[in-house]
Amino acid sequence: MIINRKVSQVNVYAGSPWAAASIHNLLNTAFIEASIKENNKGVIVSVPSEYYTAAVRLLSTSNYI
């Protein structure tokens, strides 16, 4: 039985705040847990590593990547 599993976050987008918010909402609508954070270069959207493939596939079909 797995009691504690660390899930690493993978960045799927970095850029402007309005585009990051749009991508964050798109991923959450598709039931992909996304987190958003600011750094000195813009805003970063990241997902758990287990959802990376689904997130990239969704973003590529939505013309975000």
Give residue 31's region: left, alpha or beta (phi > 0; psi -120 to 50).
left
Per-residue pLDDT of the chain (65 residues; tens, 9 = 90+): 555 556 689 999 999 999 999 999 999 999 999 999 998 878 999 999 999 999 999 998 887 66
Kindly compute the dihedral angle of the four CA atoms of residues 21, 25, 31, 32, in this order, to the nearest 10 degrees: -20
The two most distant CA atoms of the chain are separated, in Å, by 42
What confidence score (pLDDT) does residue 39 get? 87
Q: Which pLDDT value is given to residue 62? A: 81
pTM for the model:
0.80
The structural domains of the chain, with segments of one domain joined by +, span 9-61
Q: Which CATH class is domain 9-61?
A: alpha beta
